Chain A
Amino acid sequence: MTNFKLTTDPLNVQDVIDAVRSPKAGAVNVFIGTVRDATDGKAVERLEYETYEPMALKKMEEIAGEIKQRWDVVEIAMHHRYGLLAIGDSAVVIAVSSPHRQTSFEACQYAIDTLKQVVPIWKKESFEDGDVWVMPHA
């Protein structure tokens, strides 16, 4: 069972869930980020993700460590795909297990929000008229 993974293969949601399943948990919360077909009304043809893999894995583990300090959770797992993705593909799957459900919702939201801010992964959107690296915080 791998809690933190970057892969060019299609993501398997069940693998991420299985990584956090526990007899101590009363809830498993799962977030799936998928490739949308448009940005600001412009049709997206495909996405390409690039990553700085050793740092990305380290940052994912750090986020999980922060979550465990802040909330009463049992396990956290994050799998992110990179390379070429098509519309509808899963780009990221995050699962959090916890004794009680409210914690799993809050911790899962923190995990995806923080991943988007600090984990070195980059997304390039391909439109009919060209490619653009997405820069949300530029």
Chain B
Amino acid sequence: MTITLRFFALGRELVGASELRYVFDHPTVTVSDVVQRLKSEYAVLEQLPSFLVAVNSEYGMNDTALYDGDELAIIPPVSGG
């Protein structure tokens, strides 16, 4: 299964990309599985004071299940308006 990761603002600058593709052997993974792999490969993300995640444009939790083709966005603290 393939998950597309999206990055914005400081997260995008730290990772150095606006998008990454992660392939997993398992049929499903959770948000925390993907975030753990991401943090291990991009330790620089520690510089983000906090972030939320969104799965297919909806805020998700650590235990939210991900399926093939899902989009997981790393959402740094928002500051619109």
Judge if B78 is at the interface, Cβ distance under 8 Å.
Answer: yes
| Pairs across A and B, CB under 8 Å, 30 listed | A50-B8, A50-B12, A52-B6, A52-B75, A55-B54, A55-B58, A56-B80, A80-B81, A91-B81, A116-B80, A117-B78, A118-B59, A119-B78, A120-B8, A120-B54, A120-B73, A120-B78, A122-B76, A122-B78, A122-B79, A122-B80, A123-B79, A124-B9, A133-B76, A134-B79, A135-B79, A136-B79, A137-B77, A137-B78, A138-B49
Judge if B50 is at the interface, Cβ distance under 8 Å.
Answer: yes
Give the distance in Å from the alpha carbon of A122 to the alpha carbon of B10 in the complex.
9
Give the distance in Å from the alpha carbon of A21 to the alpha carbon of B74 in the complex.
37
Contacting residues, chain B, for A91 (C-beta < 8 A):
80-81
Contacting residues, chain B, for A54 (C-beta < 8 A):
57
| New contact pairs (9) apart from A52-B6, A122-B9, CB-CB < 8 Å | A33-B81, A51-B80, A52-B8, A80-B80, A91-B80, A118-B78, A119-B78, A121-B79, A121-B81
Closest to B13 in A: A133
Assess A135 versus B76: contact at CB under 8 Å? Given A33-B81, A116-B81, A122-B8.
Answer: yes
Judge if A92 is at the interface, Cβ distance under 8 Å.
Answer: yes
What is the total number of residues of chain A having a CB less than 8 Å from a CB of chain B? Answer: 29
Dominant secondary structure at the A interface: mixed
Give the distance in Å from the alpha carbon of A33 to the alpha carbon of B57 in the complex.
25
Q: Point out residues on B near A: beta carbons under 8 Å.
A: 6, 8-10, 12-13, 49-50, 54, 57-59, 73, 75-81
Give the distance in Å from the alpha carbon of A123 to the alpha carbon of B12 in the complex.
13
Q: Point out residues on A near B: beta carbons under 8 Å.
A: 33, 49-52, 54-56, 58, 80, 91-92, 112, 115-124, 133-138
Give the distance in Å from the alpha carbon of A117 to the alpha carbon of B8 in the complex.
16
